[in-house]
Amino acid sequence: IGIGLDYAIHLTHRILDETDTQSLNNALITAVKGTGGALFGSALTTIFGIGSLSVAITAILADFGFIIGIGILYSFIFSIILIPILFKLYDYTLGIPQKDR
């Protein structure tokens, strides 16, 4: 959970940085395109690194590797999909403060 939480933090920070210079829609697109690739690479290496335990001889280690690998995958997917949706909902209800340009 702690490893997957970093994906949401990095994406949220990038979206907030991008909203300083552009509209929310463009900021979401830029952030997901830019940071999403780096997050995907990080998630992929973590999934395969920890997921390699799923071929362990011990059943407990194999289950642990499989479950953690799936958890990291879900964390990445939900970060890429859910964070932009939550930003849109927040902007629709309360509005994101914009800095003077």
Rounded-to-integer distance, Cα 67 and Cα 84, Å: 26
Give 36-86 pLDDT, tens digit per residue: 888 999 899 989 998 898 888 999 999 999 998 999 999 999 999 999 999
Nearest alpha carbon to residue 5 among 79, 92, 96, 82: 79
Rounded-to-integer distance, Cα 46 and Cα 67, Å: 13
Q: Which amino acid is at 70?
A: I
* Over residues 31-35, mean pLDDT: 91
Q: Is residue 31 a contact partner of residue 88, using CB atoms and an 8 Å limit?
A: no
Rounded-to-integer distance, Cα 19 and Cα 95, Å: 12
| pLDDT surpassing 70 at residue 22 | yes
